[in-house]
Structure 1
Amino acid sequence: MTKKIAVIDLGTNTFHILIAEISSAGMKVLHTEKISVKIGRGGINDGLITDSAQKRALNALAHFKAKIDEYEEIEIFATATSAIRSAKNGKDLVEKIRHQTSIEVQIISGDLEAQYIYDAVKKGVKLGDETSLIMDIGGGSVEFIICNEQKIFWKESFEIGAQRLLDLFHYHDPILPEEIDNLVLFLTDRLLSLIQACRKYNPTVLVGSSGSFDTFSDIYRLKSGLKKNSEQTELPLSVDSFHKMHIDIISKNKDQRMAIPGMVEMRADMIVVASILVNFIIIRCDLKKVRVSSYSLKEGLLFNILDRLNNR
């Protein structure tokens, strides 16, 4: 017996869809797609999803629903994260989505989001016994998980995503040194519990989960002349290459960043604050190695759905 499922991740920056067919032979991915919706733009730090952002969200989900309708007897699982979770009108948007597309969206907690990310990353990257710090940079929140292959030692979700940081600190382009200093002071205060956890558990490896880390890896790969393998779930990156990339990124304006091989339009604005955040974490947590997982929230949600289906 085969079953088709569609997994939709309503992120703050990007909406993702993954459609898969499940059978006794395993899982076959039928379709994946992402749309840059940026529902946090213009209102995330005020706890609002603007009218224009809601329109972009509804248009993206109408497109996803049309794609889903190409398949027969398909079950839909949709989750919303930080921007919708924290917005005063987030539940109103979820109701509009249900009314206009018949897609039922579950707003998940930051803690559950971190759990799904861990479940995804440990399938994409062989974590082994060494203690790693998984980091997922969203537009609204950033999830951190200190773990190894067997267990989670500590996890927390912080509402300091790239759209929030962009709006709060990145006023000039290139970003000014004093804006960087202000951002670092902000991170020092907000991430105190993470720094304390890193001192306790002593992770040595940073594992980036998709998103901005995909772009960092693509820049590194193209600069190093490495071929891209679409089957790979672990992507190349090194600490030294990231540090060089970081210095380059924060010194450029948007047009100059777009000229970097591997940069994509949807990341060009937020990559500056994302890079500062990653650099801060590497230094403050004294991390010696960087790895990148192509798996993130949507894959974690998919794996959990499969477990539930198998246990029915």
Structure 2
Amino acid sequence: MVIRKFAAIDIGSNAVRLLVNNVIEQEDKPTTFKKSALIRVPVRLGEDAFTLGKVSENNLNRLVKTMCSFDLLMQVYGVEKYMAVATSALRESENGKEVVDRVQKEAGIGIEIIDGKREATIIASTDLKDLIKKDRSYLYVDVGGGSTEFTVFSQGEPKSSKSFKIGTVRILNNLVKAEMWQLVEEWIKEHLGEGAKVEIIGSGGNINKLHKMSGRKVGQPLSFIWLNAQYHFLNSMEYEDRISELGLNQDRADVIIPAAKIFLSAAKWSGAKKIHVPKIGLADGMIKTLYHEQS
């Protein structure tokens, strides 16, 4: 048996995450991937990028310190290879290159700023296919702070993907116009077609949290009816009450509502009644991508 360690750093619009995975190789057995550690730091880069047009000095300093700590953690864990990517917040920041250069200089971590298409490709390299049945269609919805990636699966294969600038941090800052929602609706209806039997596969920290709050077992999907009721329940509460009464983190208590709205909208437009929550996403796809590049 050989145990290798790989790491993924996902620099999102709402938070920055470090995922460390054990990759277990055994002769005559399939390689297995086991999560060793997941660290999440709420550096809300999107709030700067989408309102100011660039990352502020304060958040740049916080990001550099986070990356320095991630570098130390990877050394302690014995990570042999890592991949660090940044999504819509740094894509749209006028000082995105400056941020990347400073992190490289001070933390020694190289960051790749990826577009929505590359993001969707990385996500598609996860274990999604294990969940997908050939007799129905699926709409994969990955909700982030700055953008949401949509992928249509039909007959077990990805048929079309698109990234839209609809994200939780953008919605909180009133930066998503009605026209953008309409574009998403049109795209979903066009690529799924009429009368398709559709189920949603959701990813992102918010849908994972909603699934946990539902009390459902791992592998048991959320229903549209439950999610709709939960959305209205959360929306009826004050932000402070979501923290004190429901135990939500400060940086989760606000974004969870627009995230639920995105999933509900996708379900309504696709006709889906079930939302599967496999707890996989961009970071998991990065680990798989890294491993296959090294093998």
> TM class by shorter-chain length?
0.7 to 0.9
Distance (Å, rounded) in 2 between the aligned partners of 1:139 and 1:218: 20
Partner of 1:48: 54
Match of 2:205 among 208, 211, 214: 211
CA shift at 1:272, angstroms? Answer: 2.0
Query: Secondary structure of 1:263's match?
Result: coil
Match of 1:174 in 2: none
Amino acid at match of 2:18: I
TM-score of the superposition, structure 1-length normalised? Answer: 0.83
Match of 2:121 in 1: 115
Please tell me whether the aligned partners of residues 219 and 262 of structure 1 are also in contact (alpha carbons under 8 angstroms): no
Q: Does 1:297 align with 2:282?
A: yes
Query: Which residue, 187, 196, 200 being the options, matches 1:193?
Result: 187
SS of aligned partner of 1:41 = helix
Give the drift of 1:72.
4.2
Question: What does 1:95-114 correspond to in 2, within 5 Å?
Answer: 95-114=101-120
Deviations 1:242-280 (A, max 9, x none): 111011122222023235546333211112222222222
Deviation sequence 1:90-132 (CA, Å, 0-9, x none): 1110111100111111111100111222222506x61111210
Deviations 1:16-63 (A, max 9, x none): 112234353244543222111111123324431122221221121111
Give, in whole Å, the separation in 1 of the partners of 2:138 and 2:120.
Answer: 14
Q: State yes or no: 1:128 paired with 2:128.
A: no
Question: Partners in 2 of 1:120 and 1:151 — Cα distance?
Answer: 13
2:123 is paired with a residue whose SS is: helix
- Relative to structure 1, the CA distance from residue 127 to residue 63 in structure 2 (aligned partners, 3 Å threshold; closer, same or farther) is same
Find the counterpart in structure 1 of residue 5 from structure 2.
Answer: 4
- DSSP 3-state at the match of 1:293: coil
Cα distance in 2 between the residues matched to 1:51 and 1:105: 18
Q: Which residue of 1 aligns with 2:291?
A: 306
**Compared with structure 1, are the counterparts of its residues 117 and 73 closer, same or farther at alpha carbon in structure 2 (3 Å cutoff)?**
closer
**Match status 1:238 vs 2:228:** no
SS of aligned partner of 2:125: helix
Paired residues in the alignment total 288
Give the Cα separation in 2 of the matches to 1:21 and 1:250: 39
RMSD value over aligned CA atoms? 2.4
Q: Per-residue deviation at 1:85?
A: 1.3
Would you identify which runs of 4 or more consecutive aligned residues in structure 1 move more than 6 Å?
none
What is the distance in 1 between the residues matched to 2:140 and 2:146? 17
Identity %: 23
In 1, the alpha carbon distance for the partners of 2:155 and 2:192 equals 17
Does 1:30 find its partner at 2:36? yes
**Is 2:43–2:59's contact at 8 Å kept on the other side of the alignment?**
yes
Partner Cα distance (2:197, 2:115) in 1: 25
The answer to whether the 8 Å contact 1:210/1:292 transfers is: no
CA distance in 2, matches of 1:96, 1:201: 51
Which ranges in structure 2 are unaligned for 5 or more consecutive residues? none
* 3-state secondary structure, aligned to 1:57: helix
Q: Which whole-Å CA distance do the structure 2 matches of 1:260 and 1:302 have between them?
A: 36
* Paired residue secondary structure (2:193): helix
Q: Structure 1: where are the runs of 5+ without partners?
A: 170-181
* 1:140 pairs with one of 141, 146, 149: 146
Q: Is 2:203 aligned against 1:202?
A: no
Q: How far apart in 2 are the matches of 1:157 and 1:207?
A: 16
Aligned counterparts of 1:126 and 1:278: Cα–Cα separation in 2:
19
Distance apart, 1:149 and its partner CA: 6.9
Distance in 2 between residues matched to 1:87 and 1:9, nearest whole Å: 16
1:9–1:16 CA contact under 8 A, matched in 2: yes
The equivalent of 1:161 in structure 2 is 167
Give the distance between the partners of 1:200 and 1:47, measured in 2 at CA: 40
Separation (CA, whole Å) in 2 of partners of 1:61 and 1:144: 29
Distance 1:276-1:146 versus aligned 2 partners, 3 A rule: same
| Counterpart position of 1:151 | 157
Does the 8 Å CA contact 2:11/2:86 hold for their aligned counterparts?
Answer: yes
Q: Which residue of 2 aligns with 1:274?
A: 259
